[in-house]
Amino acid sequence: MTSAGTDDAPIRPDSAGAIAAAVRSGETTALAVTEAHLARIARRNPTLNALTVVFDDRARRVAEEIDAALAAGDDPGPLAGVPVSVKENIDLMWSASTNGWRALADAVPERDAAVVRRIRAAGAVPIGRGNMPDFGMRWDTDNDLFGRTLNPWDATRSPGGSSGGDAVAVATGMSAIGLGNDFGGSLRLPAYAVGVCGLRPSQGRVPRAAVQGRAVALTLQQFSVNGPLARSVDDIALALDAIAGWDVDDPVSIDAPRVRPGDVPRRIGVTHDPLAWGVDAEVAAGIDRAAAALSRAGWDVVDVEPPMLEEAAVLWRRLSCTDMLLTLDPAVLGEPLGRSATRFLRDSTAAARPYETASEYAQAWGQRAAIAAEWRRLQVEVPLILGPVSTSRMSAPDDDLGGTAAADRAWRDLRLTVAVNFLGLPALALPAGLAADGMPSGVQLIGPMFAEDVVLTAGRDIEAGVAPVALPD
């Protein structure tokens, strides 16, 4: 690990695993690692606006505590000294959990979220807060409170959302791991946009926010999960091991058995253009590169069309927009949303046709079981599905705004991604080389419930067989 003496001191994009190993072995110190990352933040963040709050002194104190524990012969954990960023909607007592919304600018939580407690217990060092759109609604990262996050590869392209701040921080070496969440691609789309890995775990595998005597929208309970962003599949696995498991405050969380690679057939189904609605040639080329790597690694690679995909994507959209209208109405919140969030909510709900009756809403949830059964039958024979995160390349910031046509286009591009949220399945987004435009390309691997280990195994084979994506600088 290169220590920082000046703002332009080089920092190798070491993996979280390499950082922890170097700290634990005494090759470097947690404080030196923290100082190097703080220097990187000072140089890159003023332009990129990925981190909304930087924990300079607090991060240093935590790092010093880790070094003291090592000096005393104690084990600080498998992520000793690893800098992590924490999304603005995950409780961390060091700063407000704003959700990217002005009205929560002073909402400092009374305790850390379970995932924060766990990653800190593993020895990680919170170094900053990741930017996000208001309440994580958009597929871009901008809000009236903190402003816009820029894509480090090309500022004229969106960094994705809603975990865009953490993805950019990880991609540029400001943090080694990002903690975010995924309601409709909010981890996987930013990972695709900036060339990192993002895991949406199975529903229940990782605890979400504590439930404390207040109603929580049903879609938020069923579609949204916390998960990690990192620069390698191995680092995703390290983070997942640290944060997964049952939590008393989240009734959706469980200690589920882990499906191992030997438990299922070594077979992957490939879909380039789900529903034949169109796919960019560069997206398809990235999928081909990933499929070839998997074939060389001994996987049986077959073509597949995911069952009832249109129904799943439509139901995700209509149910989500119904709940957003009910829970994010300014009359309910007491304060208006930010300008871009207001436009997104208006356009998306107008395009989605939210449910108007309790009967329609109940029938939609009932249909979920039928679709999940079809996917389960497929994944007995073809456990993994390889396909696009988005069927389009990343477009300009605010391209998810601009009326119902823009809202329709964004949803159509993410049809496979949102179906995963609807069904609660695990999915890993990871790079698949560079496209002709010089931007990272990427794919996602979708597994059956609680088969994160299988997904990660296949992800490592793609990682090993496709040219790596260099850290933008």
340 in active site: no
Nearest Cα residue to 13 out of 219, 222, 177 = 177
Query: CA 288, CA 395: separation in Å to the nearest integer?
Result: 22
CA–CA separation, 195 vs 433, rounded Å? Answer: 8
The distance of Cα 83 from the centroid of its chain, to the nearest Å, equals 17
- List 15, 85, 87, 95, catalytic entry: 87
Tokens 């790597």 found at: 293
Q: Is 15 a catalytic residue?
A: no
State the Cα–Cα distance between residues 74 and 360, nearest whole angstrom: 57
The catalytic residue among 15, 97, 163, 186 is 186
Say how far residue 246 (Cα) sits from the centre of its chain.
20
| Active-site choice (162, 224, 348, 390) | 162
Nearest to 421 by CA among 271, 322, 275, 317: 317
Known catalytic residue at 186? yes
Q: Which two tokens mark 81? A: 């000294």
CA of residue 104 relative to chain centroid, distance: 22
Q: Known catalytic residues?
A: 87, 162, 186
